[in-house]
């Protein structure tokens, strides 16, 4: 009985929707649109479709996405967290040999203040804020993300060209914002050496 009435209601709803759509399309057909304008609307839709197609294919098939890892962290207790304790910051190799860079943004610098990474190598940056909103951009590279307190901003990228790059805060974070910057050295892949303290850490962890 009850199921019957629900089925009946669904049936009515579907019928109503179809009626509405038919009515909508019939009414819209009565609108006068110049043939030239119709052509232009089609061209515009084609352009939009092309652009949407490119970004969608890039996102789904090439994995080209902006930093979007929704991961929370207590920004007020970073020093007590294992991952972002002071001794654990900077460039490290993880168990699989991948390079992870852990950085803390706080008024008014990025910590550690200087790091060295290899060129042409996949790097995973993990940025956190210890106070307010920050942003980080390494000009001329794809390394750009917002750093929102309460969240870990993770971004994976690589630097094609060796050199000295500035690391700039690009979000207003207070009156000293201008002074919030640090340095990164991108070193030719063959000249780069994994930081030694990492190995020590690893041994300590293993031991």
Partner 1 sequence: MDDATERKLTLSHLWVAFGAFILACFMGEYQVLERSGLISALDSPTVYFASVSTHGVLMGFVLTTFFIMGFGYYTATTSLKMPVWNLKLAWVGFWISLLGTVMAAVPLLTGKASVLYTFYLPIQAHVAFYFGAVLLVVGSWLWCGIMLVMFSQWKKSHPKQPVPLAMFATTANALLWLWTSVGVALEVLFQAIPLALGWIDTVDAGLARTLFAWTLHPIVYFWLIPAYIAFYVFVPKQAGGFLFSDEVARAAFIVLVVFGLPIGFHHLYMDPEQASGWKLLHGIGTFVVSLPTLVTGFTVIASLEIAGRLRGGKGLFGWIGTLPWTNTMVLSVILSLLMLILGGFGGIINASYAMNAMIHNTAWVPGHFHLIFAGTTVIMYFAIAYYLWPVLLRKPLFSNSMALIQLWTWFIGMGILTTPWHVLGLLGQPRRISTVVYNTLLTLAWKPYELAMIFGGLILLGSACLFIYNLVKTQLNPAPAEFNQQIEYADPIHPVESIPEYLNDFKLWNRVIAVLMAISFGVPILQFFFMDTFGSPAWGY
CB of 81 to partner 1, least distance (A): 11
- Residue 27 or 205: the one with the smaller Cβ distance to partner 1 is 27
Find the shortest distance in angstroms from Cβ 111 to partner 1: 17
3-state helix, strand, coil in the chain (%, to 5): 40, 25, 35
Which spans in 30-70 are helix H?
35-61
**Candidates 2-10, 58-66, 116-124, 188-196 — which segment interacts with partner 1 by CB under 8 A?**
58-66
**For partner 1, which stretch binds (CB under 8 A), given 2-10, 59-67, 87-95, 114-122?**
59-67
Q: Of 76 and 188, which has the nearer Cβ to partner 1?
A: 76
* The token pair that represents 78 in the structure block: 């970073």
Q: How far apart are CA 136 and CA 101, in angstroms?
A: 14
CB of 119 to partner 1, least distance (A): 18
Q: Which of 51, 188, 199, 200 binds partner 1 (CB under 8 A)?
A: 51
Judged by CB under 8 A, the chain residues 133 through 162 that form the site for partner 1 are: 133, 135, 137, 139-140, 142, 144-154
Residues 60 and 30: their CA atoms lie apart, in Å, by 40
E-state strands within the chain: 90-93, 99-106, 109-111, 114-118, 123-129, 134-137, 144-147, 153-157, 163-169, 181-187
- How near is the Cβ of 56 to partner 1 at its closest, in Å? 7
d(C-alpha 123, C-alpha 166), whole Å: 17
Spatial neighbors of 115 by CB under 8 A, at least 6 apart, are 90, 91, 101, 103, 184, 185
Q: Does 206 bind partner 1 (CB under 8 A)?
A: no
Interface residue list for partner 1 (CB under 8 A): 24, 27-28, 30-34, 36-37, 40-41, 44-45, 47-48, 51-52, 55-56, 58-59, 64-76, 131-133, 135, 137, 139-140, 142, 144-154, 164, 166, 168-179, 181
């Amino acid at each position: 009985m009850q199921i019957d009435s629900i089925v009946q209601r669904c049936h009515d709803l579907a019928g109503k929707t179809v009626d509405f759509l038919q009515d909508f399309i019939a009414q819209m057909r009565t609108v006068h649109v110049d043939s030239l304008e119709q052509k232009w609307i089609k061209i515009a839709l084609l352009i939009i479709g092309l652009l949407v197609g490119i970004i969608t294919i890039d996102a789904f098939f090439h994995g080209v996405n902006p930093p979007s890892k929704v991961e929370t962290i207590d920004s007020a207790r970073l020093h007590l967290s294992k991952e972002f304790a002071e001794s654990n910051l900077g460039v490290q190799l993880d168990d699989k040999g991948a390079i992870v860079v852990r950085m803390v943004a706080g008024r008014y610098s990025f910590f550690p203040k200087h790091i060295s990474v290899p060129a042409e190598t996949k790097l995973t940056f993990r940025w956190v804020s210890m106070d307010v909103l920050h942003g980080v951009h390494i000009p001329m590279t794809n390394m750009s993300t917002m750093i929102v307190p309460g969240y870990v901003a993770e971004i994976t990228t690589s630097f094609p060209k060796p050199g000295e790059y500035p690391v700039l805060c690009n979000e207003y974070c207070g009156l000293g914002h201008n002074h919030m910057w640090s340095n990164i050295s991108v070193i030719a892949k063959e000249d780069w050496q994994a930081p030694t303290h990492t190995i020590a850490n690893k041994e300590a962890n293993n031991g």
